[in-house]
Homo-oligomer: A and B are copies of this chain.
């Protein structure tokens, strides 16, 4: 039996830019990995289920995905980029908070570095997706792009002049927690009326359940999809119904889009982006959400008429943006002599 090729050996900064890297995306139920070429092409993928929030189980799953992909790949790999929902500190050394990960103020990066023995980038999944869209997708050539991922909540990433901006403590882009409705819906962050309570997949499900509770007749078609159990009306169910042409579902998506546009108007006043990329699960619905978002933005942009606003574009890289971005971020870090 021949020894497995060593894909782990040191890579010079100069060579890094030409080599594939590994990208890992940690979700609520699975760890997905890919080998990603410098041009963004995904050369291979692998995945593992992660049972619960156990730190060891998650690290085992990451290591296992990395080993599988590295072995199949055979050649040299720059390092491993890992993206996950949650708040990381500025260096990625520590998880401040994550809905899916049990790491709490633990030395995530140190743990992983010890196990994987490779250069690492660790950070927020929306940051990774933002980077991917900037490098390969809807925001190529942008001088200041914002990525808004509409999933269960709102995630965000910022790329300015070709640099990912993670904030001074690593938690920039958490605009899902701007207050848009005083005394509004309670949010996990402890406040009321956060933007992500009105423009996200969860928001979509929330409003659908409100309608179903109060007007079952109006929501009859939606309720049919969940055997009459309103509690099971999630954003995904509504999104599917909208894709099938359900009028109430389309109206609810339009409402989400309007709130999306309102928030983009605020962000435009603050950061003046040239492009805002909308990704995440809800974004697959495309114009159903984006058209009302643009319409509201056009009416709500402060100083409209005196200043340009951003282009609002659908994400181009789909569900694998996080993985692709994380891979490129570790590649860039090594090329820059960090990582």
- Residues in chain A within 8 A of chain B (CB atoms): 87, 90, 96-97, 142-144, 156, 160-161, 163, 165-191, 194, 207, 210-211, 213-215, 231, 262, 265-267, 269-274, 300, 302-308, 310
**Is A190's CB under 8 angstroms from B304's CB?**
yes
B contact residues around A305 at 8 Å (CB): 190
**Is B266's CB under 8 angstroms from A302's CB?**
no
**Is B303's CB under 8 angstroms from A171's CB?**
yes
Stoichiometry, as copies per complex, reads 4
Shortest Cβ distance from A167 into B: residue:
B272
B contact residues around A304 at 8 Å (CB): 190
**Is A175's CB under 8 angstroms from B270's CB?**
yes
**Is B167's CB under 8 angstroms from A300's CB?**
no
Shortest Cβ distance from A303 into B: residue:
B189
B contact residues around A177 at 8 Å (CB): 266, 269, 302-303
A160–B144 CA distance with the chains assembled, in angstroms:
13
**Is A270's CB under 8 angstroms from B172's CB?**
yes
The distance from the CB of A116 to the nearest CB of chain B, in whole angstroms, is 27
**Is B171's CB under 8 angstroms from A144's CB?**
no
**Is A96's CB under 8 angstroms from B307's CB?**
yes
Interface centre among A96, A97, A270, A307 (most CB of B within 10 A): A270
The distance from the CB of A242 to the nearest CB of chain B, in whole angstroms, is 18
**Is A267's CB under 8 angstroms from B270's CB?**
yes
Q: Which 8 A-B pairs have the closest CB atoms?
A: A167-B272, A177-B302, A168-B274, A186-B210, A189-B302, A188-B214, A172-B272, A144-B168
Question: Residue A173 contacts which of B165, B175, B270 (CB distance < 8 angstroms)?
Answer: B270
B contact residues around A169 at 8 Å (CB): 272, 274, 307-308
B contact residues around A267 at 8 Å (CB): 270
**Is A183's CB under 8 angstroms from B184's CB?**
yes
Other than the given A142-B168, A168-B273, A170-B272, 14 more pairs (CB < 8 A) read: A97-B307, A161-B163, A168-B274, A172-B270, A172-B271, A176-B269, A177-B302, A179-B180, A179-B262, A179-B266, A186-B207, A190-B303, A191-B300, A271-B271
Question: Residue A191 contacts which of B90, B179, B302 (CB distance < 8 angstroms)?
Answer: B302
Shortest Cβ distance from A275 into B: residue:
B168
B contact residues around A272 at 8 Å (CB): 166-174
The distance from the CB of A94 to the nearest CB of chain B, in whole angstroms, is 11
Question: Residue A174 contacts which of B174, B181, B270, B308 (CB distance < 8 angstroms)?
Answer: B270
B contact residues around A160 at 8 Å (CB): 160, 165
**Is B191's CB under 8 angstroms from A215's CB?**
no
**Is B266's CB under 8 angstroms from A307's CB?**
no
Shortest Cβ distance from A272 into B: residue:
B167
Enumerate 21 A-B pairs (CB-CB under 8 Å) in ascending A order. A87-B303, A87-B306, A97-B303, A97-B306, A160-B160, A168-B272, A168-B274, A168-B310, A173-B272, A174-B270, A174-B303, A175-B269, A176-B269, A179-B180, A181-B181, A181-B183, A182-B182, A184-B184, A190-B215, A191-B300, A270-B271
